[in-house]
A and B are shown apart, each in its own frame.
Chain A
Amino acid sequence: MTNSLDAYLILSALLFCIGTFGFLARRNAISMLMSIELMLNGVNLAIVAFGAFNPHLREQGSIIALIVIAVAAGEATVGLAIVMAIFRNRRTPLVDEYDSMRQ
């Protein structure tokens, strides 16, 4: 199993879908951000898996994964800063109360 690409890819897909569910279903904004991190990680796993099983992408897979990690870090920073700014205004971290654009 460790030698089958499909297994890693299915694993990555599962992680991604768990992250999707969390993003769509949780009420707290921070939970949503955590789910996004899960999704990013799932994708990262897929990239590394491809890198590991394709001789032409031996190093490139890792490099791309590295870059993804860096960007994810930056994104998490900014996202959390935004959440904190909103929290300061609304006094609630629950996203279903951020509906002032409602028709």
Chain B
Amino acid sequence: MPYDALIAIIPALPIAGFVFTALAGRRLQASYGRNAASAVPIAVVILSWLAGMAVAYGALTHADPFGATGHAMTLWRWIPAGAFQVDAGFFVDGLTACLLIVVTTIGMLVHIYSIGYMSHDPGTWRFFAYLNLFMTSMLVLVLASSWLVVFVAWELVGLSSYLLIGFWYRKRSAALASKKAFIVNRVGDVGFALGIMAIFVNTGTLDIRTSIERLIAPGAVLTVPIVVVALLVFSGAMGKSAQFPLHVWLPDAMEGPTPVSALIHAATMVNAGVYLVARANPIFGHAQGAMLVVAAIGIFTAILAASIAFTQTDIKRVLAYSTLSQLGYMFAALGVGAWTAAIFHLMAHGFFKGLLFLDSGSVIHAVHEEQDMRRMGGLWRKIPITYGTMLIGSLAIAGIPPLAGFFSKDEILGEAFKNGFLVVWAVGFVVAGMTAFYMFRLMGMTFWGPSHVDPAIEPTIHESPRSMTVSLVLLAIPSVLIGMVLGLPFGGGLLKTWLEPVFGETVALSGHAEAGFALFGIDGALIIASVAVATLGIVVAWRFFGIELGPLRSEPRPKAVVAIAEANGATRFLYRASLNKWWFDELNDLLFIRIGGRLAMAAWWFDRNVVDGTVNGIGSVAVGFGRGLRRVQTGRVQNYALGIAIGLIVMAGSYLVIAGR
């Protein structure tokens, strides 16, 4: 198998697609219709998927030349500058393979979905061009073998996200949201760039494997302590994966079209941060303090986002906060040392969150672009395929066995408990219940109960076209199966074998004894507890928001909801805090826009008056001198003669005085 060629074409095909569509797309769409414009981008993504799957298969079965530790290939020497050498190349191991599976599969399905979803939009060719650009950047990011290439791809991913969030650029809110996303990302990227510089200063190389080896070598003398390096790298991950306090951009990013939300903000780009920390796991393994920070921020983000999702009324916002919460779970898992669990959750979440977003897009499409859940309801009979897949997705995310979320979430909580991070476990436990609750709140408001849909559009509600539903079904299948495939048997499982070479040393370093899985001991108890809290969440949700599922019937009780929210001062505060996203946007506005703006104005005043004033002042002094000296030139001979006479007198006089002494 010509693996090197395959690896190279995985990102090469989408960029070719991007260039082709960017140059020829408008004319193709104008002359031959939308499908002509989208044919090439979709074809390249499908081919890329095939190549990606082949490479992943090779890597995970430890075929030649991958072996157990992965295979590196260099395309060309990018920067040959004496002591600073950077190669442009790719590195594929088990971790890369897992990410490849997720990125290429979900990318392909989203592309197919977009044929139907964007069929009314005049800018279809642009959309597919940007999607291809995004695929390239994400693929280069996971395949890269050098930190600098990762950084370039990192920025390109941010750029693609900016272009896609602001796709409907004429809408002011979309333009603002894309700007916000880019800027907040940038803040994290500063940390990442500093981290890369720190790595170079410490090790003299930017190749990922070599630099990590040198960083963790015993007795290595580091200019920048390894904890600092780890924290800087994590700050980049915080920006890209929207962890607190850089989480403010993700909900606003829902201004983009739904396929964008599904691809970028659920399944791939936001996972880049998780991938980064996982790739750097030896560094973190030697920096226990940094890992604690990662876990703390992760689990805090999880509960923060879940609390906000309780009161949101826009269907995509609920899913956005849900994504934030699940990302928090992933980082918490990384922080407590449950590396494989984090990647497991990354893959599972990618599939079921992508499914949920595409479903929400289907719902929005059915009710004619209405996104407020208060104007939905009773849709389950009218859009059955969407309903069925969304139910599957909700059950998966709630953590009901045997769907995917159960396995991955439970592994995270189990590891947290067993590694001694009880606080993380407790908070994660509560968040699991909250997740189940708000997801079934969403289901209740959208699909069950009486219909609050606008009567004018009610008769026209219809299921989505085949191109959209095929992606939904294709995503529902792994949401159901992937948990069992990768996670069974408990305590072992396929994924663990795949990722053993990547994480093995770090796990051993942390000293957490690998006790066997005790189904009838602590592990079993934890499993039962998680399932119980998830079920509790679902039951509470259907009590308040209704359900019509088989034998289960319940009426929504909106008044009861309001009653609880208004019950006492504490609940009123919590309700308002949740509705206002805990006022983080206002805080950022105050700190950076207002106060920062004042500082900027002060600096501008200083620059204008002091700095420019000094420079201009020097000029004015010169001019003033000139003006003064000019008056000597009167043009009259007698004045000049007087000058000569005075000069003569002075010379003669001083000579006399000096010679006289």
Contact = CB atoms under 8 A, between A and B. Distances in A.
A5 B453 CA distance: 131
Contact of A95 (B633, B636, B642): B636
B638 A95 contact: yes
Given A20-B645, A24-B645, A103 B638 contact: no
B634 A102 contact: yes
Contacts of B633: 101-103
A96 B642 CA distance: 13
A96 B641 contact: no
A98 B641 contact: no
Contacts of A103: 630, 633, 635
Contacts of B638: 23-25, 32, 95-96
Interface string B632-661: 011111100110010000000000000000
Interface string A90-103: 00000110111111
A23 B639 CA distance: 11
Contacts, number: 30
Interface residues of A, number: 13
Interface string A33-70: 00000000000000000000000000000000000000
Contacts of B636: 95-96, 98-99, 102
Interface string A1-32: 00000000000000000001001110000001
B635 A100 contact: yes
A24 B634 contact: no
A101 B641 contact: no
Contacts of A20: 645
A101 B645 contact: no
Contacts of B635: 98-103
Interface of A: 20, 23-25, 32, 95-96, 98-103
A95 B642 CA distance: 14
Contacts of A95: 636-638
Nearest to B630: A103
Nearest to A17: B645
Nearest to A97: B636
Contacts of A25: 638
A100 B641 CA distance: 17
19 contacts: A23-B641, A24-B638, A24-B645, A25-B638, A95-B636, A95-B638, A96-B636, A98-B635, A99-B634, A99-B636, A100-B635, A101-B633, A101-B635, A102-B634, A102-B635, A102-B636, A103-B630, A103-B633, A103-B635
Nearest to A99: B635
A24 B637 CA distance: 9
A25 B636 CA distance: 12
A78 B635 CA distance: 22
A8 B641 CA distance: 27
Nearest to B643: A24
